Amino acid sequence: MKTLIKKVTTVVITITIITLTFSLKAQTFSHSLGAGILLGEEGGGFGSIYSPRINILQVGEGMTTSIGTHFALALNTQDEGSSTSQSFIGIELPIMLELNLGANSHPNNNNSFGGFLGIGYGFSSLSQADPGEVMVKGVFYNAGLRFKGDWGIKLAYLENFNPNIFGGASIVFQWNIN
């Protein structure tokens, strides 16, 4: 468990440093909060998501490319029979490169409809029966829609580097804070 905490702390510090570095170069910052269902090999659960991103390149009025994450905490409950069940908090942390179009592609975009498409690398403990085990690592894919009124929906899939274990998938409803 101490190794897990060290890894998470290292990633959070790295993201903070990257965020501050890009912020100092006058790039725009966007973020959202969400809640949804996250699934792993051995179970799934209800989770909350925080999605900060730095829009590193703006192309025209309605398109940006960004670097960010979709940090998730999920309550994972596994029922192993009538006498035993296990619950733990699982985490998911990808680093994503995304293309953002239309609504909320950057803080000043007020289009009524938009979306995003991304690819990245990350890890997840949602597929583990014991959160102290080694996390699932692999390529993350995501896509989503954003609507006027600052809400949207995100679908994500984690392709595990170990093909014998399902990496994970999620569906999340988000509120764009910008």
| The two three-digit tokens of residue 24, written as one number | 């100092």
* Strand extents, DSSP E, the chain: 28-40, 43-58, 63-69, 71-79, 85-102, 113-124, 136-147, 151-160, 168-176
24 falls in which pLDDT band (50, 70, 90)? Answer: very low
pLDDT at residue 136 in the model: 85
Nearest to 156 by CA among 113, 126, 111, 114: 126
Q: What is the DSSP string of 111-141?
A: -SEEEEEEEEEEEESTT-SSTTSPPEEEEEE
Q: What is the pLDDT of residues 43-101, one digit of tens each?
A: 778 899 999 999 888 887 889 899 999 999 888 666 555 555 667 778 889 999 999 99
pLDDT at residue 117 in the model: 96
Residue indicated by tokens 């051995």: 42
CATH of 2-176, one of 1.20.1090.10, 1.10.3720.10, 2.60.120.10, 2.40.160.20: 2.40.160.20
Instruction: In whole angstroms, give the CA distance from residue 129 to residue 134.
Output: 11
Residue indicated by tokens 């994972």: 76
Q: What is the pLDDT of residues 119-165, one digit of tens each?
A: 999 988 875 555 556 578 899 999 999 998 789 999 999 998 888 88
| The two three-digit tokens of residue 132, written as one number | 């102290």
Q: What is the pLDDT of residues 8-23, one digit of tens each?
A: 667 766 766 666 555 5
